[in-house]
Amino acid sequence: MTHVEREQWDVIVVGAGGAGLRAAIEARRAGARTAVVCKSLFGKAHTVMAEGGIAASMANVHPQDDWKTHFRDTMRGGKFLNQWRMAELHAQEAPERVWELETWGALFDRTPDGRISQRNFGGHEYPRLAHVGDRTGLELLRTLQQRSVGLQQEDHRETGDHEARLKVFQEFTVTRILKDGDGRVSGVFCYERESGRFLVLEAPSVVLATGGIGKSFKVTSNSWEYTGDGHALALLAGAPLVHMEFVQFHPTGMVWPPSVKGILVTESVRGDGGVLRNSEGRRFMFDYVPDVFKEKYAETEEEGDRWYEDPDHNRRPPELLPRDEVARAINSEVKAGRGSPHGGVFLDVSTRMPAETIKRRLPSMYHQFKELADVDITAEAMEVGPTCHYVMGGVAVDSETAATVGVPGLFAAGEVAGGMHGSNRLGGNSLSDLLVFGRRAGLHAAQYALSGAGGGVVAAQVDAAAAEALAPFGSPDGHAPENPYTLHQELQQTMNDLVGIIRREGEMAEALERIAALRARARHVSVEGHRQFNPGWHLALDLRNMLLVGECVARAALERTESRGGHTREDYPAMDRSWRPVNLRCHLDGDGIALERTRTEPVRPDLLALFEREELAKYLAEDELEGGRGA
């Protein structure tokens, strides 16, 4: 048996981004001794890259905003596929979660009367996003980080030990969820990047808060960490994923120079007045307003421009359609030969606002283009194009408790959890999502752990996890050794080319074949050097996860024969109401992934009553409409 050091905790949180830290703060507050395990240094999580803001109907800027309006916008954005109870809880609790951040020291931008300012964003009916310039995610993460340190300071005063109740294991990677003989969570297996040593953390509750999967794609706004770890850990532990076919391509990523291709250009650029133009100078978004949104968007440039000053008497410009619509439109313009020199379209603020305003409202965009592309956005247009940004799909969870399906003691929150955003997430709803459901996951994980649940770690699982982690150092059994960097690049190219923004049956089938072949080759992956901070080894272990989630995306996308939100089929270009009540769940099946169709829970009648019947008829299947009317 491998000797591996062990520690005992009540709750383990995997991931130290917004969802993970919010979960840890809540679990600690509920009395659970809580360990946070994160791949990077504390405070570096991908949350820092969120730019635009946190959506919450505080009604500081527009007095008519309320949770019902936010709920409606969220459901529309997700094309009604959202797990509606999550969307409801999210809309109801988001304001409290934002206000709470102020009591921990956050400094949001202010309204003239001193309250938290709120900005416009795609798909949100009212100005709703609390923000700090265009670095809102950094403010959120730093606030949660500093709150965590504040709690450690309290513990130090009381016990003499900063880490008595809340400890961060930074630069540790979890490779397996461990379970007891009854199938309940009993801990995690991880390795320390710095030394390569293994560690088992035992606990009855584990919260997955690992973020997304963007590093499976070539062009992405996501950071190094986004290798689908939590998605894969859940699958391997026996928990299903849902909605994996829905991947959000943010409409505006940088397209040039090549080394920065994919880096995010915040939606605030459009929320604050930026416009999209093609090579002919035309504001093409007016040509791409889909039927379901026809009455809600301006038909002329003049009306759209007036909306910024007088939103009550004008409709918003179509640049502020939900992200899936804008990304597809840009893709079509480029395909039609009306793109910019480097294969994007033009996003212009320079003719819309004075230079000083641009620098004040969009400081990091100004900085980013100046430093990385030699473009002065106060004087010329940016070139932008779609970039893989967010996965709507994730671990299937209970709306109230964030508990996963089928694995007692396993919870998930934030991007790694599925359901909340349906087929497409609205901008600003991710930061509110991770606060609302991070808190819920932490609370329920603590309650579950403190109820005395959970059994012991099974030694054989620890041995197996250690052997799996060491495999890349072994000899590849007579096969040619495979380079992890090469396999990763091939997977990224496959996902980008064959399961990207526009999907076709034959291409997705080919993607599945290529992924199977890559998986076979990955068994012979071989790394040089030793276990101390070895990036080649780390990547070799991450590959397992990226291959699993890549297959989930391709398999679910091949199955869903319609277009909806972040899933666009060239061969099935329309939304099909009969698919509305259908969820595709991914399970582990041997080495690969099997799909299961489940039927969604009917939307509660009082929530349906928030919509006009004509609008519902665009989304809901016929039998669902009948049910809704009868209630």
Question: Using the rule CB under 8 A, is 132 a contact of another protein?
Answer: yes
Query: Which span (66-74, 318-326, 365-373, 599-607) binds another protein, by CB under 8 A?
Result: 365-373
Q: Is 250 one of the catalytic residues?
A: yes
Q: Is 523 one of the catalytic residues?
A: no
Query: Which span (130-138, 547-555, 568-576, 616-624) binds another protein, by CB under 8 A?
Result: 130-138
Long-range contacts of 148-157 (CB under 8 A, 24+ apart): 148/21, 148/24, 148/25, 148/36, 150/104, 151/25, 151/28, 151/29
Report the residue from 88, 125, 225, 324 that binds another protein according to the rule CB under 8 A: 225
Closer Cβ to another protein, 77 or 262, answer by number: 262
Query: Which span (127-135, 445-453, 612-620, 622-630) binds another protein, by CB under 8 A?
Result: 127-135
Closer Cβ to another protein, 5 or 102, answer by number: 102
Report d(CA 293, CA 79) in Å as an integer. 11
* Catalytic choice (46, 270, 488, 544): 270
Which residues between 302 and 321 bind another protein (CB under 8 A)? none
Closer Cβ to another protein, 451 or 489, answer by number: 489
Dihedral sign for Cα 527, 530, 533, 538, please. positive
- Closest distance of CB 79 from another protein, Å: 30
Closer Cβ to another protein, 43 or 500, answer by number: 43
Closer Cβ to another protein, 479 or 530, answer by number: 530
Question: Using the rule CB under 8 A, is 14 a contact of another protein?
Answer: no
Q: Which of 616, 631, 612, 550 minimizes the C-alpha distance to 581?
A: 616
Instruction: Determine contact, residues 194/533, Cβ cutoff 8 Å.
Output: yes
What Cα–Cα distance (Å) separates residue 396 from each residue in 137, 290, 366, 402, 460?
25, 30, 39, 9, 28
Closer Cβ to another protein, 21 or 595, answer by number: 21
Question: Using the rule CB under 8 A, is 153 a contact of another protein?
Answer: yes
Binding mask 253-282 for another protein (x = CB under 8 A): ---xxxxx--xx------------------
Query: Which span (36-44, 298-306, 392-400, 619-627) binds another protein, by CB under 8 A?
Result: 36-44
Number of residues that bind another protein (CB under 8 A): 75
**H or E element that contains 166:** strand 166-170
Which residues between 537 and 576 bind another protein (CB under 8 A)? 537
- Closest distance of CB 502 from another protein, Å: 26
* Catalytic choice (250, 389, 555, 585): 250
Which residues between 46 and 105 bind another protein (CB under 8 A)? 46, 48-49, 58, 95-96, 99-100, 102-105
Which residues between 419 and 478 bind another protein (CB under 8 A)? none
**H or E element that contains 98:** helix 84-103
Question: Using the rule CB under 8 A, is 356 a contact of another protein?
Answer: no
Question: Using the rule CB under 8 A, is 224 a contact of another protein?
Answer: yes
Question: Using the rule CB under 8 A, is 407 a contact of another protein?
Answer: no
Report d(CA 245, CA 552) in Å as an integer. 7
Instruction: Determine contact, residues 188/465, Cβ cutoff 8 Å.
Output: no
Instruction: Please return the burial class of 453, using the count of CB atoms within 10 Å of its CB with bins 0-12, 13-18 and 19+.
Output: middle
- Residue that is written with structure tokens 């040089």 in the block: 528
- Closest distance of CB 59 from another protein, Å: 11
Q: How far apart are the first and last CA of the chain?
A: 60
Instruction: Please return the burial class of 533, using the count of CB atoms within 10 Å of its CB with bins 0-12, 13-18 and 19+.
Output: middle
> Bridge-partner residues for 585, per DSSP?
242, 596
Report d(CA 94, CA 96) in Å as an integer. 6
Closer Cβ to another protein, 482 or 562, answer by number: 482
- Residue that is written with structure tokens 């209970």 in the block: 398
Report the residue from 527, 541, 546, 553 that binds another protein according to the rule CB under 8 A: 527
Instruction: Please return the burial class of 179, using the count of CB atoms within 10 Å of its CB with bins 0-12, 13-18 and 19+.
Output: buried
Active site residues: 250, 270
